[in-house]
Structure 1
Amino acid sequence: MLDLWSLRVLLEVGRHGSFSAAAEALSMTQPAVSRQIATLERRTGVRLFHRRPRGVQPTEAGLAAMEQAAAVVDGMSLFETRLRAFAAAESGRVRVAAFPSAATRFVPESFRRFTATHPDVELSLTVGERGDARLLEGAIDVALVTSWDADPDPGLETLFLFDDEPMVALPADHPLASQEQVRLADLAAEHWIDGTHPDCLGPSAELSAAMGGPPKITHLCDDWNGRQGLVAAGVGVMLYPSIAGRSVRSDIRLAHPSPALPARRISAAVLPADGRPPAVSAYLDVLRAMSAAYGRTAPTSRLP
């Protein structure tokens, strides 16, 4: 079998037209270069160079060999470059699964920040599907999950990001819309809008206790924009996760509920570190860096 170094020697001899010049370029001795070419000719069974008084000249077989050798050497260089890029998180892909409210601002912002430092890594997003099983199947790389979900598979690692405070979303012309804090008891007669788990009313026991009875759910809407539209139109109110607070419509007002409702913990589920591509680890670093701006950086059961 021919080795890569022999092919490099072949190319340098052909480019310089001289054993001695090729030897200088490769930091070898002239006899060593001559032996490499002689060995190649013996193994292939063809003469690769005409020996001339003032150097060497490729034969037709030598020209064909140089063409093939260049493809092999260039291919190996590309192979090494691409692997180094993966190892340095400069290449590869990161496939993210998220729930709808996380996709309104948090995930797009994380993509913007990540792309600024890793422009050659391919990013993709899937919204609305739980990602645990797909992580184990290798179909995605990061799944954003909440504490309202079932515990992730024990074969996965869960990295806490922040606690997400539930707010109350009111139409801008609601009588209570100007208040920073709204008593839940004052919303007992309101129509409520519910949505897809985990962007829903969540554990309802605390909400029901604070209002003196269960919420009157009259609208079910899975679409995030549709739910905001219903609130803006004045047909109902809803709980609004703080993770989506920066993307709230201008005709909606957010208020802190009183008493405060339990926060949900936002985490990233991923494969263990020993099976995690470098680009995924780099993306997790971006999520951690963003977390302080979106919620508490230590888990709590209730936000003030």
Structure 2
Amino acid sequence: MDDFAEFRHFKYLLAVAEHKGFRAAAEALNTTQPSLSRQIKEFQEHYNLRLFRPTKGRNVELTPAGEALLVIAKDVLEVRDQALAALEAIQSGEAQVLRIGCAPFVDKEVCKKATDLQRALIPAASIHVSTGDTSTLLSDLKNDVLDAVVVSLPVEDEDLRVEIIKQERLVVCLPVDHPLSRKPALSAEDLTSNLTVFRHPNQHPEAHARLVELLSELGVQFEEHSHTSHPHEMQEMVKSGSGFALIREGTVMLDGLTTRPIIGVDWTVDTAFVYRASPKARIIPIIGKNLRKQFSRMARMLGRKKEPQSVRPDEQNGQMKLLG
């Protein structure tokens, strides 16, 4: 491994990229321009990179690699800061307790791996796990009752940091003995009048509204005859003949039930690890990044092309609305 690059290089490169010039960057870094220029020149020559182009005057413009640098350098420096904050918190005893909330319709494996990571970092840690609807969990997170929550998107709050951990296809749950189960995939017409079992809207109002919008765009005519608060209840209703439901593809199914994809769509349920964008969240960001890495590796092994992403508070407006 090449050890030439150091954190200071990324700090210097980011300053030049953000200030669009060496003089302004040097002033911001409280260093001299010749020293800054020399170190950046050495960095670019060592890796055969061209990150900046000179322009008229004292400014520079970014090359395509320089534009990418804005994102990469910020991430590198953020990881450094988070790692140091986590180590300080562990040493001072601030991270001895993890209070985590988990919504009923997400994959419980995400919550388990989050607690496993906490125990790996701090073997003697005390872990408190809560369950509840998404609205309640997010409220508890905002009010410092919880340190982190595992919920499905969307999460529309600029004060919260979102790590998208899993993206699972949304499929139709139906009885194995239903005539439509003989089809490999179901159409909008197949869902019309059959899709009647839904998660209770109050559990995640934004997600429910988005689902209704997507179904309407697809041309599905449906009526919400039944509302449930847990995946098991949803499956029991489908099994009893109450109608079809939409469910995560990775959900463990009851006997007598099966799932089918929907023709022409690739909607996903996006499971996220969410925490406050606050200096108090000392060890939580490390857990979130490690969760994303673990599930990204699993997704690659299963052949998925799309990997989970990190969403910063200022990127919330571009966040997917529940379904990809």
Is TM > 0.5 for Structure 1 vs Structure 2?
yes
CA contact (8 A) 1:201 1:239 kept: no
Equivalent of 1:263 in 265, 268, 275: 268
Cα distance change of structure 1 residues 189 and 137 upon mapping to structure 2, 3 Å threshold: closer
Cα distance change of structure 1 residues 250 and 110 upon mapping to structure 2, 3 Å threshold: farther
Q: Residue in 1 aligned with 2:98?
A: 94
Equivalent of 1:251 in 245, 256, 263: 256
Cα distance change of structure 1 residues 284 and 209 upon mapping to structure 2, 3 Å threshold: closer
Cα distance change of structure 1 residues 86 and 136 upon mapping to structure 2, 3 Å threshold: same
Amino acid paired to 2:274: A
Number of residues of Structure 1 aligned to a counterpart in Structure 2: 215
Amino acid paired to 1:263: T
Q: Residue in 2 aligned with 1:135?
A: 141
Cα distance change of structure 1 residues 109 and 117 upon mapping to structure 2, 3 Å threshold: same
Q: Residue in 1 aligned with 2:307?
A: 297
Q: Per-residue deviation at 1:161?
A: 2.6
| TM-score normalized with structure 1 length | 0.58
CA contact (8 A) 2:107 2:251 kept: no
Amino acid paired to 1:233: S
CA contact (8 A) 1:110 1:290 kept: no
CA contact (8 A) 1:161 1:291 kept: yes
Cα distance change of structure 1 residues 84 and 263 upon mapping to structure 2, 3 Å threshold: closer
Does 1:207 pair with 2:215? yes
Q: Residue in 2 aligned with 1:194?
A: 198
CA contact (8 A) 1:166 1:262 kept: yes
Q: Residue in 1 aligned with 2:170?
A: 166
How many angstroms apart in 2 are the aligned matches of 1:267 and 1:172? 31
Does 1:124 pair with 2:128? yes
SS of 1:163 mapped into structure 2: strand
Q: Residue in 2 aligned with 1:220?
A: 227
Q: Per-residue deviation at 1:253?
A: 1.0
How many percent identity over aligned positions?
15
CA contact (8 A) 2:106 2:152 kept: no
Give the superposed CA RMSD: 3.3
CA contact (8 A) 1:208 1:214 kept: yes
Q: Per-residue deviation at 1:106?
A: 3.2
For 1:138-170, what per-residue CA distance to the aligned partner results, in whole angstroms no more than 9, with x for missing partners?
211112343334x12x33322233434211111
Q: Residue in 2 aligned with 1:277?
A: 282
SS of 1:275 mapped into structure 2: coil
Residue ranges of structure 2 left out of the alignment (5+ in a row): 1-86, 310-319
For 1:33-86, what per-residue CA distance to the aligned partner results, in whole angstroms no more than 9, with x for missing partners?
xxxxxxxxxxxxxxxxxxxxxxxxxxxxxxxxxxxxxxxxxxxxxxxxxx9882
Q: Residue in 2 aligned with 1:241?
A: 248
SS of 1:135 mapped into structure 2: helix
Cα distance change of structure 1 residues 103 and 125 upon mapping to structure 2, 3 Å threshold: farther
Rg (Cα) greater in structure? 1
Cα distance change of structure 1 residues 116 and 237 upon mapping to structure 2, 3 Å threshold: farther
Amino acid paired to 1:195: R
How many angstroms apart in 1 are the aligned matches of 2:266 and 2:212? 10
How many angstroms apart in 1 are the aligned matches of 2:220 and 2:261? 19
Q: Per-residue deviation at 1:95?
A: 1.3
| TM-score normalized with structure 2 length | 0.55
Amino acid paired to 2:147: D
Q: Residue in 1 aligned with 2:80?
A: none
